[in-house]
Amino acid sequence: MSAAPSPTTQLITEQTEAERRAAWLADRRTCVTGTDVAAILGVSKWSSPVQVWLDKKGLSETTENDAMRWGRRLERPILQAYSDTVGVPIAFADPYTLHRVPGFPLMGASLDAVREDRAPVDAKNTRRRGDDWGDDGTDQIPVYYAAQLAVQMMVQGTDFADLAVLFSGQDFSWFRVHRDPETEAMLKERVAAWWERHVVGDVPPEVDGSDSSTEYLRKRFAKHTELTREATPEVVEWVRQRQEAYTAEREAKAKKQEAENHIKAFLGDAQAIPGLVTWKNNRPGKDVNYEGAYLALISALEQDRTQPVRDLAQRILDQHTTPTPGARVLRFIRK
C-alpha cells in the first residue's frame, strides 16, 4: 500500500495544476475557441462578442460559477455513460491542452474525450430537455453546441463528433453532428474578420444587452465629465425602445402579480397543486437586534465585571433575538 503524499508534495501538485491552468487560459486568449465561436456568432446563451473581446484583451477575469463547477465534476461520469451506452472505448483528454485547427491556428479547442477513431466526444450537464433537442443519435442539438463541435471536428480532422448530455441529473442522451465544409468555411471567414477588427484593430464589438456589456460600460465610463452630446436619430430610437420596454416590463410585472394572486387565492391554506406549483413556508428565522445587544452588554459589564462574559453575552443576545416565521414562497415546478 503506497504512502499518502506529504503536505509538501500535495502543495507542489496543486501549485503545478494552478500553473498549468493559468498557462492554458493564457493560450486560449491567443485564439478563438469552440465556445467563443458561438458567442461571436451571437448564438451563445452564456457569452457575447463583448465578453470574448474582453477576455482576449485580458480585460476580464475568468471565474467558475456553480454550473461550471458541477459540469466539470460530472464530466467523466457523463463520458463513461456515453462509452457504456454506445459501446465504444474512449480516452479522457487533458483539460489543460489546447488543440489548434491545422492550417488555421487562429481557432482551437480543448477536448473532453476522444474515441478510438479520434472523433471527439464532448460532455454537457444541463437542467432540462427543450424543443431544440432531438432523439438519441441525431444531430438535433442547440446551435451553440453545434458550433463548438464544428471546431472540435476541425481540430481532430474527423467526419463527426458526439455530444454526451445528462439532463436533470438523471436523463442521459447522446447526439452526433457530422462535418460540413460550408459551415467550416463560414466559421473561418467570420472568425478571421472578427479577430482582425476587434482584437488586432482594438475596436470593441457593439454593445448589447448582456451582463458583460453592462459591466464593460460601467468600468469604461466610471465617472462623468461636463460634456453633453446632441441626440442622433439612432439614440432617439434607443430611448424610445427603452421606454417601450420599460412600459411592457411594468405591465408584465402587474400581470405576473395578478396571476400569482389568483393562484394563491385558489390554494388558500393548501401547500401545492401537484405537478404545477407549491406554496410552502420556508424554515423559521430570527431577527437579532445586534446594536441593542451590544449596548446592553456594555452596560451590564460596567455595572458588574465579575460576571462570566461569554454566558452574559449569550443571555443578552437571546433577549434581543425575536423568532420570525418562515416566509410562504410560491414556487413553480419546472417541466
Residue ending a domain, among 200, 230, 246, is 200
For residue 324, the cross-strand partners are 285
Same-domain pairing of 170 and 302: no
Same-domain pairing of 169 and 23: yes
Provide the residue range defining the domain that includes 325.
Answer: 285-332
In a domain, 17, yes or no: yes
In a domain, 318, yes or no: yes
- What is the C-alpha to C-alpha distance for residues 139 and 135, in angstroms, rounded to an integer? 8
Domain total in the chain: 2
Residue ending a domain, among 142, 167, 200, is 200
Residues in the chain: 335
In a domain, 13, yes or no: yes
pLDDT tens-digit series, residues 5-49: 444 445 555 568 888 888 999 999 999 999 999 999 988 888 899
Same-domain pairing of 184 and 304: no
Helix residue spans in 29-142 (DSSP H): 34-40, 49-56, 66-86
Positive or negative, the CA dihedral 241, 246, 247, 249 is positive
Residue ending a domain, among 173, 200, 227, is 200
The whole-number pLDDT of residue 1 equals 42
Same-domain pairing of 86 and 190: yes
Report percent pLDDT > 90 for the chain.
67
In a domain, 255, yes or no: no
How many other C-beta atoms are found inside a 10 Å radius of the C-beta of residue 161? Answer: 31
The whole-number pLDDT of residue 2 equals 44
Helix (H, G, I), strand (E, B) or coil at 82: helix
Mean pLDDT of the chain: 89
Helix (H, G, I), strand (E, B) or coil at 77: helix
The whole-number pLDDT of residue 64 equals 64
Same-domain pairing of 13 and 147: yes
Q: Which helix (H) or strand (E) holds 290?
A: helix 290-303
For the chain, residues with pLDDT lower than 50 are 1-9
Same-domain pairing of 74 and 169: yes
The whole-number pLDDT of residue 100 equals 96
- What is the C-alpha to C-alpha distance for residues 103 and 154, in angstroms, rounded to an integer? 10
Same-domain pairing of 66 and 190: yes
CATH of residue 105: 3.90.320.10
